[in-house]
Structure formats: C-alpha cells, structure tokens
Structure 1
Amino acid sequence: MTFQAVSVLAIPLDFNSSHLTGSAAAPPVIQEVLHNGSANLSSECGVDIGKDTRLQDAGMLDWPDQASAFNCIEQRAAAIRHSGHKLLSLGGDHSITYPLIRGLQTNKNPLTILHFDAHPDLYDELLGNRHSHACPFARIMEEQLADRLIQVGIRTLNDHQRQQAERFGVEVHEMRHWKGVPALDIKGPVYISIDLDALDPAFAPGVSHHEPGGLAVRDILSILQQLDAPVIGADIVEYNPSRDINGMTAMVCAKLYKELAALLLRDCQKS
C-alpha cells in the first residue's frame, strides 16, 4: 500500500488504568510542549515536522460512553488507514493499542510490533478486566493481528506473563540481560508502541507506574534510528502529566513524537 500522509490522533482514554488515572490528559500537554518554542521541530534525521504538510492533525477522538470507546478507536484507525494515511496516536493508557491494531489490521497483513515498556502487558485479565492496559498484547496475539511481537525494556515479568510470552512466541528483551542496544532484525511492516514507563523514572517521572532500572531516552532513539523496515503506525502512551516534574516527561514525549513522525514520513509519497 502506498501512503500519502501521516495522521496524528489524540485518544484521551484512561479508564482501563489499573493504578492511577491521569493519562487521558496527556495529548494536549504533549502538543503544547511540542510547540512551546523550547526546542525546534526538526528530528535528528533532519525532517522538520513543522514544515512537512504530509503530517496532519486528526484531532481529538471522543465517544458517547465507555462501552463504545474501543469501537470508535478501531473505526477511526481503519478510516485513517483506508484514506492512505499512516497513524501516530497520542494516549491515553496502553489499552488503546489493541483497538488501534484491530483498525489498522482489517486484512491481517504481515506485521511486526515493536513494543517499548517496563511491563509485557500480556495478562489474560487484570482485576477482572480483559481490556485493561495490562492486557492489550494478549488480545492482539490471541487474534493473530501480528506475526511478531518484540518487547524491549521489560523488567516486571511474573510467572503468568512469562507463560503468556512463551504461548505467543513473544521476543522479550529483559532489562536484567541488557548489554546495550540490541540489533533487531525487522524486515516487514512494523508498528511501534512506546509506553513511557519503558524509560527509567530518572528520564520520565511523569508515569503512573515507576519502575526503576529502565531504558535511557537514547536507547529508544538508537533502536528507532536503526530501523530499515517501513513503519505503518505508532503510539505514545501512559504519560501522566499529574506525575510529571517540571515538564521533563512532556519534553521526552515531544522528542519521541518528532522522531516517530520522521520515521512514519520516511516512505510516504512526497507532496
């Protein structure tokens, strides 16, 4: 499929959070910090996302009630894909990744998911909720919406999630084995999901779940910059502004936004 542009969609959903809510407030904060003049809009590869008209604002998604939220997310993601656009979404908690992938994968095309997180998010259910932010990748892999799931930054594997990872053939890069940026052999289309708590709290204090011993911002950037495969979509999730310190995490989100946008634009048609 040939893509013409990238749509940026804000998804203010956090009712599937298990510990603290607050990530629903993230999208406008990320956008505000991105444009506050503290830094320019150029990615490290030289793409100025402020001047590239192929990067388009798809607005803030809403829904009439919680029961219909996932369906609304899925339908919007599918509409964006069918219009020839790639998708960059701003959450929101991590539960949004499941309906986003459902919408993008209506034909179940070959897909690798590159997932940065402290948590595998492979629970079959958490606190009775199968759509918890701790469960999206169990749902995705159950429905065979991805051929390959690569997880980087993991440091909270328990027995259940380890069994789930084995069941679904997940490639888990645990922080206890970290020896620097791994060489990931990714060939086909890839979707990137970045949970801010993949980062050590020293770099991203504005998250609901502080998990010490995580990645540095440069670790994520280095992995993104070595990707040769086409990127068809991405999300940034679990930023909780109410937990941030001096906007530190918001600036990290803005940095990741620029680098992901540049990756997504890389193989879009020139306007």
Structure 2
Amino acid sequence: MCRIPACVFRGKDYTGSMPAIRLFGLPTDVNSSFERGAAGGPAAIRAALRSDRGNMASELGPEIGTDIAFTDDGDLPLTEHVAHDDAAIRRHVAMLHEDGEIPIALGGDHAVTFPLVEAAAACFGPLNILHIDAHPDLYDDFGGNPRSHASPFARICEAGHAARLVQVGIRTLNRHCATQADRFGVEIVPMAGFVPEAVPVLSGPLYISIDLDGLDPSAAPGVAHPEPGGLTVRELLAVLHRQCAPIVGADIVEHHPGRDIGGVTAIVGAKLVRELAALIDRNGYWRG
C-alpha cells in the first residue's frame, strides 16, 4: 500500500510539500544484446555529477541539493540473477514511494526499466510514459531473451503498465517492432522533420525513460548502439521542459563508458539528472 502525498503545482489541483528526489544506480548489463559495458554507467554519470568541472544548477533555476531535496543512495547490490535483481529494484522503488520520494535510476542496460515501471505502476496504476531512444525496445523476444534490453516496453505493455506510451528519437523501426507498436498502440514521434512541439504534453502519472542513444552520437558517443540522426541535447531538454505533469519516476540508461570520448556522455547524463530533478520538483506530486 503506497501512501503518496500531494503538492501544489503552479496553482493546479495538488496540495502538500515538494517531493524529495532519490538517485540510485543499477549497475547491470546482463541483458545487453551486443556488448556489455553499460554496468559502468552509474559510476561514470555519478562522477560527472559530483565533479568540480560543473555545478548543481539546473536550467529551470533551482540548484540540486540546495533548493531541491536530493539524496544519492549509491548503487543497488545487484547479482546478475535477473529475477532476484528485478525483485530488489521493485522493493527499492516501493520503499521510496512509501516515503513520498521520487526515484531517478541510473542504468545499466534498458532492461531495468521494466521492474522500475512495474513498481511505479503498482503504486499509481497504469502510467503515461515518455520514452527517449533510438530504438523502440518492443521486441517480443530478442535473441531468445524476453528480458533483453531490446524488449522492456513489450513487457511493460503486455503487463498493462502503460496507459500511454510515447516514443521520441526512434530511427531504427524494423517490421517486427512496427507491428508491435501497432499492437500496443504506441505513439512514435518521427525524427524526420522533428520539432519538440510535435511531442505530446502528457498527463500524470508520468514516467520518463531516457536511453542515451536517443541523442545523436555527436552528443552522446558513449553508448553500445549509436545511431546517426538523433536528438540534440537542446531538443531533448525542450521536450522535457514542456512536460508539466507530476513525474512518479525516471531513468537514464545505456551509458557505456568504454565507448565514451572525453567523458562527454557522462557529462550529458549528469546534466539530465539535474534537469529531471528540477522538473520533478517543479511539477510536484501525483495525487491520483
């Protein structure tokens, strides 16, 4: 049973205090399909977040940890036993929601999004999901693994956890995934002629999942599956900043430090942590 407080959001129908935000890492890439390396993502993004090279200010104004309650729980002790790790992730998210806190998770491969969403949906019911990615991750079964990082949104939709799924940045839609998107009613915003205003402003409860390969490789080279023609950082921030619904969880996944150049992808990941935290704080709690 989740006891979710509510809050005032820009004069709308929410009451209570602003949410506290909890960051944690999920250092696993056991479900990666091409090459492993994303397990190092949480540590690399966390190092960039803490580095004196930058600061904790967000483009929305507040400073993380000063104006916004923000705690880093470190990494969960995952084991590479998928069922065990999924249960540990669900327990941690449920605990945070019990305390009225909002999770931001650092992957790891994109397979971790399934238990993250599953736990949030157990508290809030079906979620509206904004998914940033080069790939739709809708495979019914990739390489004999239904829990592949190429399949989390198929599992999420099958389980009824998505009231609405909007995917942005997709530029590798093959026939199978196109069929899956039609089957599940997924809304894909085309990259051809992309403008941030083409992305719907979703209602709550809102979950945001960011695969860093949704960005163009020029902005985020440190991923296992780079795909040219992606979003700029500025376009992604414009998409995020337009969202005004209360956010019940978010993740940033698929950073592969071994593929990075000059740590730039980790720095982008750290910026996205700050911007998501400020957006969660601005948008407030979901009352339901």
**Closer, same or farther: CA 183–103 of 1 in aligned 2, 3 Å:** closer
User: Partner amino acid for 1:123?
Assistant: Y
Equivalent in the alignment of 1:217: 233
Is the contact between residue 168 and residue 199 of structure 2 (CA under 8 Å) also seen in structure 1?
Answer: no
Q: Confirm or deny that 1:36 pairs with 2:39.
A: no
Deviates more, 1:44-53 or 1:173-182: 173-182
Distance 1:252 1:41 in 2: 13
Structure 2: segments with no counterpart, 5+ residues: 7-18
Equivalent residue in structure 1 for 2:31, among 12, 16, 35: 16
SS of equivalent to 1:175: coil
- The C-alpha deviation readout for 1:76-101, integer Å capped at 9, x for no partner, is 11121122111100010000000011
1:268 is displaced (CA, Å) by 4.7
SS of equivalent to 1:205: coil
Is the contact between residue 42 and residue 108 of structure 2 (CA under 8 Å) also seen in structure 1?
Answer: yes
Distance 1:256 1:188 in 2: 20
Q: TM-score, normalised by structure 2?
A: 0.89
- The C-alpha deviation readout for 1:4-49, integer Å capped at 9, x for no partner, is 4111111101010001111101111111111211111110011100
User: Partner amino acid for 2:160?
Assistant: Q
Equivalent in the alignment of 1:55: 70
**Closer, same or farther: CA 73–39 of 1 in aligned 2, 3 Å:** same
User: Partner amino acid for 1:31?
Assistant: R
Q: Confirm or deny that 1:145 pairs with 2:161.
A: yes
Equivalent in the alignment of 1:244: 260
SS of equivalent to 1:7: strand
Distance 2:280 2:68 in 1: 13
Deviates more, 1:73-82 or 1:5-14: 73-82
Equivalent in the alignment of 1:182: 198
Is the contact between residue 55 and residue 265 of structure 1 (CA under 8 Å) also seen in structure 2?
Answer: no
Equivalenced residues, count:
269
Distance 2:214 2:283 in 1: 27
Identity of aligned residues (%): 47
1:240 is displaced (CA, Å) by 0.4
Distance 2:193 2:173 in 1: 13
Structure 1: segments with no counterpart, 5+ residues: none
Distance 2:68 2:56 in 1: 13
Distance 2:123 2:284 in 1: 21
CA RMSD of aligned residues (A): 1.6
1:164 is displaced (CA, Å) by 0.5
Counterparts in 2 of 1:20-99, with a 5 A limit?
20-52=35-67, 54-67=69-82, 68-99=84-115
Q: Confirm or deny that 1:165 pairs with 2:181.
A: yes
Q: Confirm or deny that 1:6 pairs with 2:21.
A: yes
Q: TM-score, normalised by structure 1?
A: 0.95
User: Partner amino acid for 1:172?
Assistant: I
Is the contact between residue 108 and residue 145 of structure 1 (CA under 8 Å) also seen in structure 2?
Answer: no
Is the contact between residue 246 and residue 284 of structure 2 (CA under 8 Å) also seen in structure 1?
Answer: no
Equivalent in the alignment of 1:101: 117
Equivalent in the alignment of 2:145: 129
- The C-alpha deviation readout for 1:114-140, integer Å capped at 9, x for no partner, is 000000000001000000000000000
User: Partner amino acid for 2:239?
Assistant: I
Distance 2:278 2:144 in 1: 39
SS of equivalent to 1:138: helix
**Closer, same or farther: CA 134–174 of 1 in aligned 2, 3 Å:** same
